[in-house]
Amino acid sequence: MIAATPMAQQANHALPTGFQLDEYRIERQLSLGGFSIVYLATDAQGKEVAIKEYLPNSLALRGEGEICPTITPEHLPAFRYGMKCFFEEGRALARLSHPNVIRVLNFFRANETVYMVMEYEHGRTLQEFVQKNRPAITENFMRNVFTRLLNGLREVHSHKLLHLDLKPSNIYMRNDHTPLLIDFGAARQTLAADTPMLKPMYTPGFASPEHYQQRELLGPWSDIYSVGASMYACLAGSAPQAADTRLDKDQLIPAMVRWEHEYSDQLLETIDWCLSLNHLYRPQSVFALQKALTEPVLPRPAKREAGWIGQIVGKLKKKTASK
């Protein structure tokens, strides 16, 4: 996040190892982002948990050896509003109990900020998995991982929540390859949208066009765009062209063109469907997308009648070939 009157961007210092935070003992820092710090901790019974601390580095500064952040009066209203959003998000996520969504166990206020306690899972992100296991990214892998992931997203949407920061680095792969939705961006997006002094946070390539403009159009289809972008990134090894630049000049090579004959037409058409710039042309629900991903793959006939998506892709192929 960037403040209109910006505080110098800095990396906030993490709480020290051994620090007692409520009933939890901090073991080490797991990750540090612009919005929060995540720790590995143990509870009173010695069970490992992950704790996310709300600490946006554009609004608050915590120096080495300090516990409470320093927030200038100018940034205090935005910080408190963001803290409220973060707390409400924790409350909403705590109501979810699904094997493909990170489990929130507790949330509390301390040290003039808010903490979210989650189950600690063993594994690595989908981004890390893809980078180190390129040959494993088969048709079956893609269908299995994303169909199960969509089970979790469907549960999220059924509770009137949006993820708003879906990308391979926010999809966690347990050691048994079960996908898990982590690091929701809803609080960040709400904070950015409702606080004039802040600009919205985006992950270029994965954020939908609605993230950039007409934010009142954000909905399940926005997360579905991000799912399509994540599938595209798994095949490409990098993020697709950002939606805002696509709106100006769409240079994204359709999946149907880029990976023709490498994956089924059905899978590639589904990815392109999700990546439609107009939200009305995407799957409107997770159920619709799951249905497409779980349909049996038909053998490619010598000549087939193209569906409406196929017809669009056919035109795109001709257009790409003519350039």
DSSP codes of every residue in 131-182: HH-GGG--HHHHHHHHHHHHHHHHHHHHTT------SGGGEEEETT--EEE-
Task: Note the pLDDT tens digit of each residue in 160-193.
Answer: 888 888 999 999 999 998 999 988 866 555 545 5
Task: Provide CATH code, domain 20-119.
Answer: 3.30.200.20
Fold designation for 123-299: Transferase(Phosphotransferase); domain 1 (1.10.510)
Task: Note the pLDDT tens digit of each residue in 241-275.
Answer: 999 999 999 999 999 999 999 999 999 999 999 99
Is 142 in contact with 161 (CB distance < 8 Å)? no
Is 28 in contact with 39 (CB distance < 8 Å)? yes
What was the pLDDT predicted at 301?
Answer: 55
Lowest-pLDDT range of 17-21, 196-200, 256-260: 196-200
pLDDT bucket at 216, cuts 50 / 70 / 90: confident
Domain positions in the chain: 20-119, 123-299
Q: How far, CA to CA in Å, does 202 sit from each of 86, 93, 117, 130, 165?
A: 17, 21, 25, 22, 8
Report, as an integer, the average pLDDT of 43-67: 93
Lowest-pLDDT range of 70-84, 215-229, 298-312: 298-312
Gap between the Cα atoms of 88 and 110, Å rounded: 15
